[in-house]
Amino acid sequence: MSKILIRGAKVLGGEAQDVLIDGETIAEVGQNLSAEGATVIEAEGQVLLPGLVDLHTHLREPGREDSETVLTGTRAAASGGYTAVFAMANTFPVADTAGVVEQVWRLGKESGYCDVQPIGAVTVGLEGKQLSELGAMHDSAARVTVFSDDGKCVDDAVIMRRALEYVKAFGGVVAQHAQEPRLTEGAQMNEGVVSAELGLGGWPAVAEESIIARDVLLAEHVGSRVHICHLSTAGSVEIVRWAKSRGIDVTAEVTPHHLLLTDELVRSYNAVYKVNPPLRTERDVMALREALADGTIDIVATDHAPHPHEDKDCEWAAAAMGMVGLETALSVVQQTMVETGLLDWAGIAERMSFAPARIGGLDNHGRPVSAGEPANLTLVDTSYRGVVDPAHFASRSRNTPYEGRELPGRVTHTFLRGRATVVDGKLA
Amino acid sequence: MKRHLISAADLTRDDAVLILDTAEEMARVADRPIKKLPTLRGLTVVNLFFEDSTRTRISFEAAAKRLSADVINFSAKGSSVSKGESLKDTALTLEAMGADAVVIRHHASGAPYRLATSGWIDSAVVNAGDGTHEHPTQALLDAFTMRRRLVGRDAGLGKDLNGRRITIVGDVLHSRVARSNVQLLHTLGAEVTVVAPPTLVPIGVESWPCEVSYSLDDVLPKSDAVMMLRVQRERMNAAFFPTEREYSRRYGLDGDRMAKMPEHAIVMHPGPMNRGMEITAEVADSDRCTAVEQVANGVSTRMAVLYLLLGGSEPAVTTTSTPRIEESK
Ligand SMILES: [Zn+2]
């Protein structure tokens, strides 16, 4: 395999260095490395990050290939600087057996753009009643360690307790979509001032917070770790902060859209802003940013949720919930966290690569940019400014809330085990 | 005035007073032997109803016909959310048929807004009730009724409802009538109080331009008009209140309670009434109750809205009124 020399990039936003890739690994990191026999990428001024890892992606295959496939989704991931994504289990059929997770895992291998680590459903059919064969999924070729009924909450306290306990046997973790179902029947948007005016069914913060409070206490009681998906409220932040201070083994994620957008946007009744959990208030957004900065929230995860145009181009109540996010995540995080001074690029590397790989148990992703490590890398032109045009997305779906919005930063190159999946901002 | 009527909040005080004044002119036409004006001749008004509401539909239909518009009734009940014809496709169909105004009733909050702003259609859009969001023409006809009763038919012309104390009672949470009324009455200078059990007041109500009370008895003596909202019996199944009896005991209007209102005060109801639930027969049939009047006023008010959206600047009622052609079509 050929050599690639990335010249003069600021590694994790620090000092400019050269990085030499040889085959699948990083051969050398230093000053003035020899370019002999290597393809040279001039990267002065750009930031080099470990390949991004997304703990929360909906790839939709099998079952909803009209919105996304493993191939189109991993192309979108590579475009966004990701080298590994965790594929959520709410497919058709549900990824609740070894057979389905192995299918998704194989499709990921074939795509070649990004590693795909399937997530297994906690309960059969996501119905919250009977545990899936969690051990069989772990023992399969897909080596599942993250389990989630995402899209639905494991609302039965006993089922949740058992799942938390059971996966300890093989180092698994349950990722909870925290949504008390009775409190959110008919919910259409955040419950508050805006929902009162618009006459849309409210999704109250307490429906998320009560489940998180219960689950951190359950995790403490049974000595398990628990991961909280897409935290969206200031109250949830307080609960997780309290749980961590108490030594409870909890990790939490926030989506890019919850770091930037608020429920004021729903006044347009434009369903691109319809998402679950819903966009919250400015106060929540600020609390989430602060929590991501101080480590209360461990990671950014996209909750990339593709939907075909017709499922969004309709009245609000009839529209599907979710937004695509893989191709805009890093830009939104740059705007909300880096340009606000809340995090530096090393902090971004921690929250978008190191920590998600650690939580999800991926050994070959989220590694330091140093000699001997797998060459999973993302090069970012942070000085770039551009307007989001969904027509250029690699994803099969276009349901982005950022259309027409100017965002900073652009992924110029992505390397998956030494092979460029993105070159000069285009898929290779 | 704007091109569409989606929310009562879209109306300025002057817009609203103009509509009420125009409605008075329209009401005079209703007293003539020939109740028709040629004003909207050649224009097409589509009543697009995704939700059954015979009362509202025939009110708009009568209004459009009295202005000589062609009326098409398009009932699309239930076809949108299922994988039938979407709101968008329906809109494109109406556009192709050359609708000048679309009067839309929809079970989804925001559907009229989407129809007006998504570029699917060119015509004027009138919200005839969307989900639990708004019902602006109901608020206008209510304001019209209040102005007539509390200020006077002729004395009211050019005037708003400054300083009048209006109480809205019932299922505020699920009521588009309440939302539109609070907005419009505030715009017209009235002091609005909503009264309901706390379960039927929306979280976030603090941003509304009104007071909130949980006690009907406290508010009644300080009310110039009391508007009773329809309360669906099924709400008790979702624990919004324990029983029908308890609801009517605490929030229903009966003769004893009506006696606590000032003598000039009126009782309003958008209909259809649940007699025995939010209102007793004694109150409903008393001459203080304006429910029937509201229906008649609905036609005049909707004539005014259609006229102002489609007819434009000329006086509505003249002896030599000429048919108007919409240029954008
Ligand atoms: Zn979720």
Nearest residue on chain A to B86, judged by CA atoms? A314
Query: Same structural domain for residues A61 and A42?
Result: no
Distance CA B57, CA B50 (A): 11
Interface test with A, best of B48, B81, B174, B203 (most A CBs within 10 A): B203
**Chain-centroid distance, C-alpha B291:** 13
Q: Where are the beta strands (DSSP E) in A177-248?
A: 189-190, 202-203, 226-228
Of A195, A199, A202, the CB nearest to B176: A199
Instruction: Read off the pLDDT of each residue in B215-227 and give the average, rounded to a whole number.
Output: 98
Query: Same structural domain for residues A308 and A421?
Result: no
Strands B211-213 and B191-195 turn out to be parallel
Amino acid at A127: E
Q: pLDDT at position B166, please?
A: 98
Nearest residue on chain B to A315, judged by CA atoms? B111
> What are the phi and psi torsion angles at B230 (to 5°)?
-70, 135
CATH number at residue A212: 3.20.20.140
Instruction: Read off the pLDDT of each residue in A100-110 and give the average, rounded to a whole number.
Output: 96
Query: Which H helix or E strand runs over B141?
Result: helix B136-146
Catalytic-role residue among A96, A303, A311, A381: A303
Question: Looking at domain B136-291, which CATH architecture does it have?
Answer: 3-Layer(aba) Sandwich (3.40)
pLDDT tens-digit readout, A150-176 = 999 999 999 999 999 999 999 999 999
Amino acid at B200: L
The 3-state DSSP class for residue B305 equals: helix
Q: pLDDT at position A24, please?
A: 97
CB spacing of A204 vs B203 below 8 angstroms: yes
Query: Same structural domain for residues A342 and A387?
Result: no
Instruction: Read off the pLDDT of each residue in B176-187 and give the average, rounded to a whole number.
Output: 98
CB spacing of A192 vs B204 below 8 angstroms: yes
Distance CA B212, CA B168 (A): 10
Of A202, A310, A317, the CB nearest to B86: A310
Query: Same structural domain for residues A234 and A297?
Result: yes
Residue range B8-132+294-321 forms a domain whose CATH class is alpha beta
**Cis omega (within 30 of 0) on the bond before A50?**
no
Contact A70, A402 (CB under 8 A): no
Query: Same structural domain for residues A214 and A347?
Result: yes
Q: Which residue, A98, A29, A3, A5, is CA-closest to A369?
A: A29
Query: Which H helix or E strand runs over B165?
Result: strand B165-169
Q: pLDDT at position B180, please?
A: 98
B104-131 burial: b if 16+ Cβ within 10 Å, else e: bbbbbbbbbbbbbbbebbebbbbbbbbb
Q: What value does the mean pLDDT of chain A take?
A: 97
In chain A, residues with a C-beta closer than 8 Å to the C-beta of B204 are: 191-197, 202
Residues in chain B: 329
Q: pLDDT at position B319, please?
A: 42
Last residue of a domain, one of A309, A328, A360: A360
pLDDT above 70 covers what percent of chain A? 100
Is residue A263 part of the annotated active site? The answer reads: no
Residues in chain A: 428
Distance CA B255, CA A99 (A): 70
pLDDT above 90 covers what percent of chain A? 98
Q: pLDDT at position B314, please?
A: 55
A292, β-bridge pairs: none
Distance CA A371, CA A349 (A): 17
Residue B130: both structure tokens together: 């969307």
CATH 3.40.50.1370 residue ranges of chain B are: 8-132+294-321, 136-291
Tell whether the model's pLDDT for residue A1 goes beyond 70: no
Ion ligand 1: protein residues whose beta carbon lies under 5 Å: A 150, 177, 229
Range of the domain at A41: 3-47+373-427
ipTM: 0.88
Contact B234, B218 (CB under 8 A): no
In chain B, residues with a C-beta closer than 8 Å to the C-beta of A199 are: 109, 130-134, 176, 179
Q: pLDDT at position A305, please?
A: 97
Query: Same structural domain for residues A40 and A161?
Result: no
- DSSP secondary structure letter of residue A19: E
CB spacing of B108 vs A194 below 8 angstroms: no
Q: pLDDT at position B83, please?
A: 45
Of A191, A199, A313, the CB nearest to B109: A199
Query: Same structural domain for residues A389 and A243?
Result: no
Total domains present in chain A: 2
Query: Which H helix or E strand runs over A56?
Result: strand A52-57
pLDDT tens-digit readout, A326-351 = 999 999 999 999 999 999 999 999 99
